[in-house]
Amino acid sequence: MLHINNHEHLSAFIRLNEQWISEHFALEAVDRALAANPAAIIDDGGFVFTMTDGEELVGCCALFKCGEDEFELARMAVSPTRRGGGFGRQLIEVAIAKATELKAKRLYLVSNTKLESAIALYQKTGFVTTSLGQHPVYARANIEMELVLR
């Protein structure tokens, strides 16, 4: 089941994200700041999407509002036992639909090229690479991709 901005899921959203980040990278100061106040995403005009199966949170992502017509797709994570089940694609599609509904012109994300399956999924959903190289905020990011919305 899909949930949007369910405040009761924010701690599980953070746990799943931290678990995913820790599998591949190290938690950074920006991660700790978000963990201290995940509701800031919503308070700042963004959205937190969570997917559950019964009581289990199986996947999540967020849209951070970056401007009047721009959002960042971020914090995508799927439970290790549920990967490969299409949850990531469903989350991306819901996030794109929400950004489109809000008349956003641009949706972007940052990631890392070593995450080949994630990059392939982003490409399949229409994202194209706009920048390669070290990201100025996230030590773990070396690619920026965008989807221009109409």
Reported as a single tens digit per residue, the pLDDT across 8-61 is 999 999 999 999 999 999 999 999 999 999 999 999 999 999 999 998 899 999
CA distance 117 to 119: 5
CA distance 42 to 38: 8
Token representation of residue 34: 């978000």
Work out the mean pLDDT of the chain and round it to a whole number.
Answer: 95
pLDDT value of residue 64? 97
pLDDT value of residue 55? 87
CATH fold of the domain at 2-148: Aminopeptidase (3.40.630)
Question: Is residue 150 scored above 90 in pLDDT?
Answer: no
Token representation of residue 19: 């678990």
Strand partners, 70: 67, 106
pLDDT value of residue 2? 92
Q: Residue 140: CB partners within 8 Å, gap ≥ 6?
A: 21, 24, 25, 26, 28, 112
Phi and psi angles of residue 79, each rounded to the nearest 5 degrees, phi first: -55, 135
Each residue of 58-100: pLDDT tens digit? Answer: 999 999 999 989 999 999 999 999 988 899 999 999 999 999 9
Q: Residue 13: CB partners within 8 Å, gap ≥ 6?
A: 38, 48, 50, 57, 60, 62, 75
Q: Residue 71: CB partners within 8 Å, gap ≥ 6?
A: 46, 63, 64, 65, 95, 99, 102, 104, 106, 107, 108
Q: Residue 22: CB partners within 8 Å, gap ≥ 6?
A: none
DSSP state of 9: G
